[in-house]
Amino acid sequence: MRNNYADNDAEASFEVATTNGSDQTIEAAQEDQFWVVDWVTISGGASGAKTVSIKFGSDVEWTAIVQANNVEHFTFNPPLYANGRTKNEALIVNGTNGATVSIRYR
Protein backbone atom coordinates (compact mmCIF):
# COMPACT_ATOMS: atom_id res chain seq x y z
CA MET A 1 0.00 0.00 0.00
CA ARG A 2 1.36 3.42 -0.93
CA ASN A 3 0.58 6.43 1.24
CA ASN A 4 0.85 9.25 -1.32
CA TYR A 5 0.49 12.10 1.15
CA ALA A 6 3.38 10.91 3.30
CA ASP A 7 5.53 9.63 0.45
CA ASN A 8 7.10 12.66 -1.20
CA ASP A 9 9.17 10.33 -3.39
CA ALA A 10 6.12 8.78 -5.03
CA GLU A 11 6.42 9.23 -8.79
CA ALA A 12 4.33 12.16 -9.94
CA SER A 13 1.98 12.00 -12.90
CA PHE A 14 0.86 14.86 -15.09
CA GLU A 15 -2.37 15.28 -16.99
CA VAL A 16 -3.60 18.03 -19.32
CA ALA A 17 -7.31 18.14 -20.11
CA THR A 18 -9.70 20.55 -21.78
CA THR A 19 -12.93 20.71 -19.83
CA ASN A 20 -16.17 19.96 -21.64
CA GLY A 21 -18.83 20.49 -18.99
CA SER A 22 -18.88 16.90 -17.74
CA ASP A 23 -16.79 14.76 -15.40
CA GLN A 24 -13.47 13.59 -16.83
CA THR A 25 -11.61 10.87 -14.97
CA ILE A 26 -7.94 11.79 -14.62
CA GLU A 27 -6.99 8.71 -12.61
CA ALA A 28 -9.25 5.74 -12.04
CA ALA A 29 -9.94 4.39 -8.59
CA GLN A 30 -7.33 1.87 -7.49
CA GLU A 31 -7.60 -0.40 -4.50
CA ASP A 32 -5.44 0.63 -1.52
CA GLN A 33 -4.40 3.95 -3.05
CA PHE A 34 -5.58 7.52 -2.81
CA TRP A 35 -4.54 10.50 -4.88
CA VAL A 36 -3.05 13.82 -3.85
CA VAL A 37 -2.78 16.91 -6.07
CA ASP A 38 0.42 18.98 -5.84
CA TRP A 39 -0.54 21.75 -8.26
CA VAL A 40 -3.05 22.80 -10.87
CA THR A 41 -2.65 25.31 -13.70
CA ILE A 42 -5.79 26.58 -15.42
CA SER A 43 -6.06 28.59 -18.62
CA GLY A 44 -9.36 30.45 -18.85
CA GLY A 45 -9.54 30.49 -22.63
CA ALA A 46 -10.65 33.39 -24.80
CA SER A 47 -14.22 33.98 -23.63
CA GLY A 48 -15.92 34.20 -20.26
CA ALA A 49 -14.87 33.03 -16.82
CA LYS A 50 -14.22 29.30 -16.43
CA THR A 51 -15.04 27.28 -13.32
CA VAL A 52 -13.02 24.13 -12.66
CA SER A 53 -13.56 21.55 -9.92
CA ILE A 54 -11.31 18.71 -8.82
CA LYS A 55 -13.12 15.82 -7.17
CA PHE A 56 -12.18 12.65 -5.38
CA GLY A 57 -15.05 10.26 -6.00
CA SER A 58 -18.36 12.10 -5.89
CA ASP A 59 -17.31 14.88 -3.49
CA VAL A 60 -15.97 18.23 -4.68
CA GLU A 61 -12.65 18.93 -2.99
CA TRP A 62 -11.60 22.17 -4.66
CA THR A 63 -13.09 24.72 -7.07
CA ALA A 64 -11.57 27.75 -8.82
CA ILE A 65 -12.86 30.44 -11.18
CA VAL A 66 -10.42 31.76 -13.78
CA GLN A 67 -11.24 34.80 -15.90
CA ALA A 68 -10.99 34.83 -19.69
CA ASN A 69 -7.49 35.24 -21.13
CA ASN A 70 -5.92 34.50 -17.73
CA VAL A 71 -3.74 31.65 -16.55
CA GLU A 72 -3.71 30.80 -12.85
CA HIS A 73 -1.32 28.42 -11.09
CA PHE A 74 -2.43 26.94 -7.77
CA THR A 75 0.08 25.12 -5.54
CA PHE A 76 -1.18 23.00 -2.66
CA ASN A 77 1.13 22.71 0.33
CA PRO A 78 0.29 20.32 1.86
CA PRO A 79 -1.12 18.57 -1.20
CA LEU A 80 -4.86 18.52 -1.84
CA TYR A 81 -6.33 15.19 -0.76
CA ALA A 82 -9.52 13.67 0.58
CA ASN A 83 -8.80 13.80 4.31
CA GLY A 84 -10.49 11.07 6.31
CA ARG A 85 -12.08 9.47 3.26
CA THR A 86 -11.89 5.92 2.13
CA LYS A 87 -9.33 4.93 -0.46
CA ASN A 88 -10.15 3.71 -3.95
CA GLU A 89 -11.78 6.90 -5.25
CA ALA A 90 -11.17 8.31 -8.72
CA LEU A 91 -9.56 11.71 -9.36
CA ILE A 92 -12.02 13.67 -11.52
CA VAL A 93 -11.97 17.10 -13.17
CA ASN A 94 -15.10 18.99 -14.17
CA GLY A 95 -15.43 22.48 -15.57
CA THR A 96 -16.97 25.02 -17.88
CA ASN A 97 -16.40 24.21 -21.55
CA GLY A 98 -13.00 25.28 -22.85
CA ALA A 99 -10.80 25.61 -19.76
CA THR A 100 -7.41 23.93 -20.09
CA VAL A 101 -6.32 22.21 -16.88
CA SER A 102 -2.85 20.84 -16.11
CA ILE A 103 -2.54 18.73 -12.97
CA ARG A 104 0.41 17.22 -11.09
CA TYR A 105 -0.74 14.38 -8.88
CA ARG A 106 0.68 11.39 -7.01
The 3-class SS string of 2-69 reads CCCCCCCCCCCEEEEEECCCCCEEEECCCCCCCCCEEEEEEECCCCCCEEEEEEECCEEEEEEEECCC
The ranges assigned to domains in the chain are 13-105
- State the pLDDT at residue 32: 76
- State the pLDDT at residue 51: 92
Q: Spell out the per-residue pLDDT of the chain, length 106, in tens.
A: 445 455 566 788 899 999 999 989 998 888 877 788 999 999 988 788 899 999 887 778 899 999 989 999 999 998 888 777 767 888 899 998 989 999 998 8
Please tell me whether residue 20 adopts helix, strand or coil conformation: coil
- State the pLDDT at residue 8: 63
**13-105 carries CATH number 2.60.120:** yes
